[in-house]
């Protein structure tokens, strides 16, 4: 079938020896008629293949304990000209074998999803992609791009272009992702099963460090429950990417207090005089130049507490922002979003927030995440404050103008 360009199959026994010129191949719960070593001999016929989707269709790869490793893996690797590879499977050994077996120097999207078979792990707090894939994470995941100079990913020098890294631990999704916007290149590694992931965010952040040890990151996006993440782990992240990190986007049920404390860089002290590593860590935190922080608070259905942040947390954030401002690292923008319908004291909380933090941030806003999500459309009043028109009542406007007058006189 020389004229066939796109092929999608589901639940079939696949024999593709005579299919040449394919551009798009999508297999869903299919079985291969040949093992991968045999299929690899016909892959040169697939040189035009630019998009490959494999969903529970990896039976042609070696089973548990038979993965291709070391020299045999290198000799068996197959070069494909793919731009997109999406893999979903419940057998981690098959996924590992696939990673060992391919070279994708021109790929722009690589998406790997491991569907955890039932029963799910009993303790999600100790679950991680590192534990699932073992040494695959650090040694072999990027071996997909084998043969490229160190530091290359998707055929580009990813260490020349800071990108966006994201960690998601929410509902039944556990994923780490890196995106180079300059070249529209994305690598995502994820796992999923039907249970609460709330305690797994620290493991996911550590996965980010392990899976992407050499990338440059300018924006970090984190979605999950922040309560179990330590100050030390946030410091590890800030130290590792202090060169380029400028923007934090945090979504979850909490005020991210540990992240704020780590931002100040003051929790590494006291330092012993001869502790060279601690001194280097403190210097790295001092070089960190976060410019923008966006926080979206996601309320649980049974939440009935006052709108965040509470007075204690607000005072700690104020102290951190004051310290950053005095040390020449003043925050350019802080946007805090709260679900107004879940908190009857929303307006009072907003007034406290604006009054406490406006002297230390260039652009400050406290918004209703349910009704106004486009900050570019918000008018600016007061001390650089963006406020939805629906909340521009006379009292608020008067308070903003009085605060602006006070700041101008100071």
**The two three-digit tokens of residue 72, written as one number:** 């045999």
Give the residues of the chain that fall short of pLDDT 50.
63-74, 135-157, 372-397
Would you call 221 helix, strand, or coil by DSSP? strand
As a residue count, the chain comes to: 410
117: exposed, middle or buried (Cβ count in 10 Å: 0-12, 13-18, 19+): exposed
| Integer Cα distance of 134 and 206 in angstroms | 14
Residue 26 has what pLDDT? 93
H or E element at residue 287? helix 276-287
Residue 255 has what pLDDT? 87
Residue 258 has what pLDDT? 95
Beta-sheet pairing, 247-252 with 217-223: parallel
- Sign for the CA dihedral angle at 196, 202, 208, 211 comes to negative
On whether the CB atoms of residues 368 and 391 are closer than 8 A, the answer is yes
Residue 354 has what pLDDT? 95
pTM above 0.85, yes or no: no
- Omega of the bond prior to 309 within 30 degrees of 0, cis? yes
Listed residue (143, 122, 146) closest to 133, CA to CA = 143
| Integer Cα distance of 346 and 387 in angstroms | 13
CB atoms within 10 A of CB 58: 21
**The two three-digit tokens of residue 67, written as one number:** 């993965």
Residue 120 has what pLDDT? 55
pLDDT, one tens digit per residue, over 219-244 is 999 999 898 899 999 999 999 999 89
Give how far Cα 394 sits from Cα of 52, 381, 384, 401, Å: 58, 13, 18, 11
Listed residue (258, 256, 358) closest to 309, CA to CA = 256
H or E element at residue 395? helix 394-409
| Integer Cα distance of 180 and 15 in angstroms | 36
């Amino acid at each position: 079938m020389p004229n066939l360009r796109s092929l999608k199959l589901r639940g079939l026994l696949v024999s593709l020896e005579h299919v040449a010129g394919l551009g798009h191949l999508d297999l869903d719960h299919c079985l291969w008629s040949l093992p991968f070593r045999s299929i690899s001999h016909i892959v040169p016929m697939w040189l035009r293949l630019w998009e490959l989707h494999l969903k529970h269709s990896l039976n042609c790869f070696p089973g548990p304990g038979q993965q291709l490793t070391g020299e045999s893996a290198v000799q068996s690797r197959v070069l494909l000209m793919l731009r997109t590879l999406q893999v979903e499977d419940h057998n981690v050994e098959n996924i590992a074998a696939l990673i060992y077996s391919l070279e994708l120097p021109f790929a722009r999207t690589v998406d790997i999803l491991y569907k955890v078979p039932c029963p799910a792990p009993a303790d999600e707090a100790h679950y991680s992609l590192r534990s699932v894939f073992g040494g695959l994470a650090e040694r072999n995941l990027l071996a997909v791009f084998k043969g490229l100079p160190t530091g290359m990913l998707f055929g580009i020098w990813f260490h020349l272009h800071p990108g966006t890294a994201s960690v998601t631990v929410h509902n039944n999704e556990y994923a780490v992702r890196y995106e180079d916007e300059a070249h529209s290149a994305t690598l995502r590694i994820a796992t999923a099963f039907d249970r609460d992931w709330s305690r797994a965010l620290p493991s996911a952040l550590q996965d980010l460090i392990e899976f992407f040890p050499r990338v440059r990151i300018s924006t970090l996006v984190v979605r999950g429950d922040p309560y179990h993440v330590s100050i030390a782990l946030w410091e590890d992240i800030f130290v590792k990417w202090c060169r380029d990190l400028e923007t934090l986007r945090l979504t979850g049920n909490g005020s991210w207090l540990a992240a704020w404390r780590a931002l100040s860089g003051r929790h590494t002290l006291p330092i012993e005089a001869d502790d060279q590593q601690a001194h280097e860590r403190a210097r790295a935190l001092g070089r960190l130049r976060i410019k923008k922080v966006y926080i979206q608070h996601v309320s649980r259905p049974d939440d009935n507490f006052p709108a965040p942040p509470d007075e204690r947390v607000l005072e700690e954030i104020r102290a951190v922002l004051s310290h950053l401002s005095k040390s020449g690292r003043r925050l350019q923008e802080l946007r805090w979003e709260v679900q107004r319908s879940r908190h009857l004291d929303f307006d009072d909380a907003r007034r406290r927030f604006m009054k406490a933090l406006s002297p230390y941030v260039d652009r400050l806003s406290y918004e209703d995440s349910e009704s106004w999500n486009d900050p570019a459309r918000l008018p600016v009043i007061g001390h650089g404050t963006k406020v939805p028109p629906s909340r521009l009542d006379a009292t608020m406007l008067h308070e903003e103008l009085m605060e602006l007058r006070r700041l101008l006189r100071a």
